[in-house]
């Protein structure tokens, strides 16, 4: 591997992964290929902008000509596909873009990889493809029972990855990551939304009873897990990638408020998300056997993350005053008024 195409590299995890790759592999050339949707942000990559090993290309993974031109121009040998519509609530409001990017886009990308004979394609997937698990832990061979348009579109893309491996022998690897948090996360997701709302003294809209469980994974640990699967994963294999930090949403909410010295009266219970998965939990023994493990504990990482948002309001304040405002009104307006 020398020339790696990181699709969706201007998003949250993708931009952290670009930094991680350049740090870990001094001989790699990294090409970011990103459509720059509302969630893509070139500011996420400001600190690598002048690195001669980094190139940025604006493009849609569903555009086969643009993709082919980029693979050819940069002699790409490996793709790591982060490009996706990634927010469950938006998929409930408007699923269209999810089918375009997460399903069709993934297919177009696989077809390009096959035609160019690439060495490896890593598909960044999610634990949400399994659906909800009341007790125990999902293993890689468990059935896929996605419940939201987001998770169904991610499952659709992932199944095309499987088909391209089985049918055409494409060298693929899939990672199924759990809920991720850290710097540069678009403030629609619960952690940065609640941190930045709390900083602004705004209410924190907690869905339903707040007793849903997510397994929290720090973004750098997610990047390290992808890097491990990319370099040591076996062809055609799938790897669960979770932090092992199961927490109820209400616990995480209270911890954020505590870290910021804000009152719990900011918590506003609101109408639940339709089809809301109750619990996600992963068995990650397969990836751990390749040498991966999360680094610090959840509470330390959450404190670091809260501090990052406190110190970097130059990054999130412009986002929250732009397109985000219309989305926030649509998603939360009636809920907050009723709550
Ligand atoms: P994000 O929404 O922050 O970033 C997505 C990026 O993809 C953006 O830069 C956007 O511009 C780009 N993009 C969207 N459509 C595109 C297209 N058609 N062509 C090219 N680029 C396009 O998402 P994220 O949270 O960083 O998630 C990245 C990946 O990781 C996604 O595939 C997501 O499903 C997966 N994942 C996320 C989490 C999480 O907790 N955030 C957990 C597990 C897996
Ligand atoms: P989210 O960050 O949207 O990730 P996902 O839906 O992919 O797990 O949400 C994480 C959890 O937080 C989920 O159980 C839904 C809940 N949540 C709220 O209670 N309020 C909110 O405003 C948001 C965005 C999420």
pLDDT reported for residue 322: 83
Residue 11 CA to ligand 1 center (angstroms) comes to 6
Q: Which stretches within 134-234 are classed as H helix?
A: 149-168, 190-200, 219-232
44 pocket-lining for ligand 1 (C-beta < 6 Å): no
193 pocket-lining for ligand 2 (C-beta < 6 Å): yes
Nearest Cα neighbor of 191 from 94, 309, 42 is 309
Q: What are the tens digits of pLDDT across the range 72-126? A: 999 999 999 999 999 999 999 999 999 999 999 999 999 999 999 999 999 999 9
The pTM assigned to this predicted structure is 0.99
Residues 182-207: b if buried by 16+ CB within 10 A, e if exposed = bbbbbbbbbbbbbbbbbbeebbbbbb
pLDDT reported for residue 15: 98
Tell me which long-range contacts 93-100 makes (C-beta under 8 A, separation of at least 24). 93/330, 93/331, 95/149, 95/153, 97/37, 98/149, 98/150, 98/153, 99/153, 99/156, 100/62
152 pocket-lining for ligand 2 (C-beta < 6 Å): no
Q: ∠50-84-61 over CA atoms, to 5°?
A: 70
Cβ contact 296:218 at 8 Å: yes
**What pairing do the DSSP bridges indicate for beta strands 180-181 and 217-218?**
parallel
Residue 249 CA to ligand 2 center (angstroms) comes to 8
Among the bound ligands, name the one nearest to the CA of residue 178: 1
* Residue 128 is a catalytic residue: yes
Name the strand (E) or helix (H) holding 23.
helix 12-24
For residue 36, give every residue at least 6 positions away whose Cβ sits within 8 Å of its Cβ, in sequence order, or none: 10, 42, 58
Domains and CATH numbers, the chain: 3-180+216-241 (3.40.50.720), 182-214+245-274+297-326 (3.90.25.10)
Among the bound ligands, name the one nearest to the CA of residue 161: 1
- Of 107, 150, 184, 239, which is the active-site residue? 150
Question: pLDDT grade, residue 323 (50/70/90)?
Answer: confident
Question: pLDDT grade, residue 1 (50/70/90)?
Answer: confident
- Of 127, 158, 221, 277, which is the active-site residue? 127
Residue carrying the six token digits 């499987």? 162
- For ligand 1, mutation pick of 6, 36, 63, 83 (most atoms within 8 Å of CB): 83
Measured in degrees and rounded to the nearest 5, phi and psi for residue 212 equal: -70, 150
104 pocket-lining for ligand 1 (C-beta < 6 Å): no
Burial class of residue 12, CB neighbours in 10 A (0-12, 13-18, 19+):
buried
Among the bound ligands, name the one nearest to the CA of residue 185: 1
Q: What are the tens digits of pLDDT across the range 201-252? A: 999 999 999 999 999 999 999 999 999 999 999 999 999 999 999 999 999 9
Instruction: Please tell me the residue having the least CA distance from ligand 2 atom 10.
Output: 190
* Residue 328 is a catalytic residue: no
pLDDT reported for residue 262: 98
Closest atom of ligand 1 relative to the 36 alpha carbon: 11
Instruction: Please tell me the residue having the least CA distance from ligand 2 atom 9.
Output: 190
Q: What are the tens digits of pLDDT across the range 261-287? A: 999 999 999 999 999 999 999 999 999
Q: Is the dihedral of CA 47, 53, 57, 62 positive or negative?
A: negative
* Residue 127 is a catalytic residue: yes
Average pLDDT, the chain: 98
Q: What are the tens digits of pLDDT across the range 170-180? A: 999 999 999 99
Q: What are the tens digits of pLDDT across the range 21-62? A: 999 999 999 999 999 999 999 999 999 999 999 999 999 999
Residue 277 CA to ligand 2 center (angstroms) comes to 10
34 pocket-lining for ligand 1 (C-beta < 6 Å): yes
**Tell me, what DSSP letter sits at residue 282?**
B
3-state secondary structure (DSSP) of residue 37: coil
192 pocket-lining for ligand 1 (C-beta < 6 Å): no
Q: Which residues pair with 207 in a beta bridge?
A: 270
207 pocket-lining for ligand 2 (C-beta < 6 Å): yes
Closest atom of ligand 1 relative to the 38 alpha carbon: 11
Nearest Cα neighbor of 168 from 133, 116, 230 is 116
């Amino acid at each position: 591997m020398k020339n790696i195409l990181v699709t969706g590299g201007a998003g949250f995890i993708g931009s952290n992964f670009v930094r991680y790759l350049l740090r870990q592999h001094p001989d790699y050339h990294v090409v970011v290929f990103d459509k720059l949707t509302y969630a893509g942000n070139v500011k996420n990559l400001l600190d690598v902008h002048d690195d001669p090993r980094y190139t940025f290309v604006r493009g849609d993974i569903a555009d086969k000509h643009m993709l082919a031109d980029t693979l050819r121009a940069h002699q790409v040998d490996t793709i790591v596909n982060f490009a996706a519509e990634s927010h469950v609530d938006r998929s409930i409001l408007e699923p269209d873009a999810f089918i375009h990017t997460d399903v069709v886009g993934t297919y177009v990308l696989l077809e390009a990889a096959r035609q160019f004979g690439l060495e490896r394609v890593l598909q960044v997937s999610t634990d949400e493809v399994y659906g909800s698990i009341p007790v125990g832990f999902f293993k890689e061979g468990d059935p896929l029972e996605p419940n939201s348009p987001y998770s169904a579109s991610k499952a659709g893309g992932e199944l095309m990855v499987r088909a391209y491996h089985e049918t055409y022998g494409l060298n693929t690897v899939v990672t199924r990551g759990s809920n991720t948090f850290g710097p540069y996360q678009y403030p629609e997701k619960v952690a940065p939304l609640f941190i930045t709302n709390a900083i602004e003294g705004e209410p924190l809209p907690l869905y339903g009873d707040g007793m849903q469980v997510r397994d929290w994974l720090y973004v750098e640990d997610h990047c390290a897990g992808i890097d491990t699967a990319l370099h040591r994963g076996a062809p055609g294999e799938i790897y669960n990638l979770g932090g092992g930090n199961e927490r109820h949403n209400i616990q995480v909410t209270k911890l954020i408020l505590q870290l910021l010295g804000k009152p719990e009266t900011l918590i506003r219970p609101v109408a639940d998300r339709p089809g809301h998965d109750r619990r996600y939990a992963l068995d990650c023994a397969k990836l751990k056997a390749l040498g991966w493990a999360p680094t610090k504990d959840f509470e330390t990482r959450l404190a670091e993350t809260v501090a990052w948002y406190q110190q970097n309001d130059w990054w999130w304040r412009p986002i929250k005053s732009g397109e985000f405002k219309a989305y926030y009104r649509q998603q939360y307006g009636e809920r907050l008024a009723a709550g």
